[in-house]
């Protein structure tokens, strides 16, 4: 296995007295798509929040290129090359589509992504570049959220439930762009409730159950029975 | 004709009130911080200008070159060192801390400069005026003051909607936690917003000090004028803030014309009328 760009070592996370993650370990290699699946409340979003720097965690629990970044402030994590597509899109409502994208790129990290490339990936956004972000359809807003994260030119892109609340045809449309994103050499962690979509997209899958890794393996090797056992704990 | 004159003078005064309000509106918009010390910071700027003019021997208007950066630096340090620690889900801590700051500034100025009122002397420009016909004359200084107010408001509008910094301000205002996740350092963005706010305060403070006598205790009243202008104009609208300032200025001028004792009262009454009829302000941009 090639050297991982991201490694989680025995990661715990807490909301006050409540422990949300228990000793999660994970590796993501260069150019690899990793899916994290699990039921509601299994800790998937918490896991991404920890990586993105939005949760206080042990410093050496998260390593990017061998450097400990656990608990670093979110804006430092972005400048090191990790960008998040947050759950529910969370666009800036008073900014136009283009301004939302520019906010993503304001740190000026070098890389293949810029406004022109994002518009090539999602041509519909160029037509609507000057519209306020909330005026777009859900699918288009999700494209803005992905574009905004890509504008940061990350090495690792975290996608939290990008299929949430979207019609199946729109979900297929968005997932169809993932290969073009991976082709630029960045790695992805996708958190999904849609297990079929996750298994289709990812090479390696982790299944969380109540804050613990209940199952992991290559997407091709996982059977439906194994997954539902890990998913529901029965 | 006398009334036309009154209204014109009121409009020009409104420019100054709009400047009191602009800095207040800016930081409330960006970080939901109500700065109770805003009026005292205006007075502090006036004293900084007093020291600058006395030690450097320069005209008060020229002293802006010194006062504006000094106040902006104070703003940045104040925000990062103190006010950022008070920000959170609760509006109360920043309110209490800036209230305390207001007391500290007033008493600090009182210790250093005494309660004697002072004034900055801008020289001949103070008594020059331009005849506009019909026996009306507009003072050069009020005109400069109004022009500066338009420039400040227009500049803020441009900065907010045309620059990367303005974009960062609006994004942070929309959603602080996501702004952070997109790589914005909120502590720094807030520091810059407060620096900008106090840069405007510096301009307002110098104009105030040239216009009339000032002493350490007059900050809170300026804060009220600023608040009233912001609320009349509607939160989040820069040009609305200018309109709000003008309405208070004109109301005060008309009140004073009727009876000198009605000067301040008329401004407050105008504010209450707007609040009763249109509580969201005349040109609201922020909802909820």
pLDDT 10s digits, B265-278: 999 999 999 999 99
Across the interface, whether the CB atoms of A95 and B174 are under 8 A apart is answered yes
**Best interface-test mutation with A: which of B84, B167, B175, B182 has the largest number of A CBs within 10 A?**
B182
Task: Give a yes or no: residue B284 inside a domain.
Answer: no
Q: Is B175 on the interface with A (CB under 8 A)?
A: yes
Residue B286, in any domain of the structure: no
B288 has a pLDDT exceeding 70: no
Nearest beta carbon to residue B170 from set A94, A104, A106:
A94
Distances (CA, A) of A170 to A121, A139, A164, A167, A177: 15, 6, 11, 5, 11
Q: What is the pLDDT of residues B102-132, one digit of tens each?
A: 999 999 999 999 999 999 998 888 889 999 8
Check pLDDT > 70 for residue B89.
yes
CATH number of the domain at B220, please: 1.10.3470
In what order do the strands lie in the sheet containing A4-15? Answer: A18-29, A4-15, A62-64, A67-68
In whole angstroms, what is the distance from residue A43 CA to residue B80 CA? 34
Please give the helix or strand (H or E) that residue A206 lies within, else none: strand A204-209
CB contact under 8 A, B182 and A99: no
Phi-psi region of B183 (alpha: psi -120 to 50; beta: other; left: phi over 0): left
The band of B287, judged by pLDDT with boundaries at 50, 70 and 90, is very low
Q: What average pLDDT is seen over chain B?
A: 93
CB pair distance less than 8 Å for A94 and B178 = no
Q: Greatest CA span in chain A, whole angstroms?
A: 50
**Interior/surface letters B120-149, b for 16+ CB within 10 angstroms, e for the rest:** bebeeeeeeeeeeeeeeebbbbbebbbebb
Please judge whether B171 and A73 are an interchain contact, meaning their C-beta atoms are less than 8 angstroms apart: no
Nearest CB neighbour to A106, from listed B168, B173, B186: B168
Query: For residue B154, what is the enclosing H or E element?
Result: helix B140-162
Residue A118: the pLDDT is: 96
Q: Say how many domains are in chain B.
A: 1
Which residues form the domain of B196? 2-277
Residues in chain A where the model's pLDDT stays below 50: none
CA separation for the pair A158, A47 (Å, rounded): 10
Average pLDDT of the residues in B144-155: 95
Is B164 close to A102, i.e. CB distance below 8 A?
A: yes
Q: Which residues contact A10 (CB under 8 A, 6 or more apart)?
A: A23, A24, A25, A61
Distances in whole angstroms, Cα of residue B180 to Cα of each of A53, A60, A78 = 9, 22, 9
The secondary structure of residue A43, as a DSSP letter, is: S
Instruction: Pick one of 3.90.950.20, 3.40.50.300, 3.40.50.10310, 3.40.50.1220 as the CATH number of A4-91+155-232.
Output: 3.40.50.300
Instruction: Answer whether residue B170 is part of any domain.
Output: yes
pLDDT, one tens digit per residue, over B4-31 is 999 999 999 999 999 999 999 999 989 9
Q: Does a structural domain hold residue B285?
A: no
Partnered with residue A204 across adjacent β-strands are A34, A218
Residue B282 lies in a domain: no
Counting other chains too, the contacts that B91-98 makes at CB distance below 8 Å and 24 or more residues apart are B91/B32, B91/B34, B94/B33, B94/B34, B94/B35, B95/B34, B95/B36, B98/B33, B98/B34, B98/B35, B98/B36, B98/B37, B98/B38
pLDDT at B37 over 60: yes
pLDDT of residue B286: 54
Q: What pLDDT sits at residue A2?
A: 66
**Nearest C-alpha of chain A: how many angstroms from B83?**
19
Structural domain boundaries of chain A?
A: 4-91+155-232
Rounded CA gap, A165 and A142, in Å? Answer: 10
Q: Does B183 touch chain A (CB under 8 A)?
A: yes
Chain A contacts to B (CB-CB under 8 A):
52-54, 73-75, 78-79, 83-84, 86, 90, 92-95, 99, 102-104, 106-107, 148-149, 152
Question: What is the value of ipTM here, to two decimals?
Answer: 0.90
């Amino acid at each position: 296995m090639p050297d991982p760009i991201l490694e989680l070592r025995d990661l715990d996370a807490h909301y006050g007295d409540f422990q949300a993650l228990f000793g999660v370990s994970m590796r993501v290699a260069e150019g690899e798509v990793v899916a994290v699946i699990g039921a509601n409340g299994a800790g998937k979003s918490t896991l991404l929040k920890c990586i993105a720097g939005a949760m206080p965690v042990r410093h050496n629990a998260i390593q990017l290129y061998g450097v400990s970044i656990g608990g670093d402030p979110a804006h430092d994590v972005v400048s090191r090359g990790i960008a998040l597509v947050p759950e529910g899109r969370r666009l800036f409502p008073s900014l136009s589509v283009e301004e939302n994208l520019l906010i993503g790129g304001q740190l000026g990290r070098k890389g293949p992504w810029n406004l022109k490339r994002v518009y090539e990936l999602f041509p519909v956004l160029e037509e609507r570049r000057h519209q306020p972000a909330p005026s777009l359809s859900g699918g288009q807003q999700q494209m803005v959220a992905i574009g905004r994260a890509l504008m940061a030119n990350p090495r690792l892109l975290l996608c939290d439930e990008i299929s949430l609340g979207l019609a199946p045809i729109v979900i297929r449309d968005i997932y169809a762009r993932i290969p073009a994103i991976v082709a630029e050499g960045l790695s992805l962690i996708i958190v999904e409730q849609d297990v079929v979509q996750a298994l289709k997209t990812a090479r390696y899958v982790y299944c969380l159950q109540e804050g613990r890794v209940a199952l992991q393996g290559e997407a091709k090797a996982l059977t439906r029975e194994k997954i539902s056992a890990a998913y529901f704990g029965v | 004709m006398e009334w036309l004159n009154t209204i014109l003078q009121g409009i020009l005064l409104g420019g100054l009130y709009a400047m009191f309000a602009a800095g207040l509106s800016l930081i409330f918009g960006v970080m939901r911080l109500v700065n109770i010390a805003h009026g005292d910071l205006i007075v502090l700027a006036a004293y900084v200008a007093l020291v600058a003019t006395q030690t450097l021997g320069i005209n008060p208007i020229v002293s802006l070159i010194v006062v504006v950066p000094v106040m902006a630096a104070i703003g940045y340090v104040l925000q990062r060192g103190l006010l950022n620690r008070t920000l959170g889900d609760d509006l109360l801590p920043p309110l209490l801390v800036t209230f305390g700051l207001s007391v500290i500034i007033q008493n600090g100025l009182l210790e250093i400069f005494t309660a004697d009122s002072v004034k900055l002397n801008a020289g001949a420009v103070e008594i020059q005026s331009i005849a506009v016909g019909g026996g009306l004359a507009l003072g050069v200084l009020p005109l400069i003051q109004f022009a500066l107010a338009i420039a400040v408001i227009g500049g803020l509008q441009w900065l907010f909607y045309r620059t990367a910094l303005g974009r960062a301000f609006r994004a942070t205002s929309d959603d602080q936690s996501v702004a952070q996740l997109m790589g914005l350092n909120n502590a720094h963005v807030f520091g810059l917003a407060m620096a900008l706010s106090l840069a405007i305060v510096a301009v307002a403070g110098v104009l105030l000090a040239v216009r009339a006598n000032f002493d350490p205790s007059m900050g809170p009243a300026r804060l009220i004028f600023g608040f009233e202008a912001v609320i009349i104009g509607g939160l989040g609208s820069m040009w609305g803030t200018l309109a709000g300032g003008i309405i208070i200025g004109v109301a005060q001028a008309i009140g004073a014309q009727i009876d000198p004792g009605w000067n301040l009262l008329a401004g407050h009454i105008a504010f209450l009328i707007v609040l009763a009829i249109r509580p969201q302000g005349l040109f609201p941009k922020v909802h909820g």
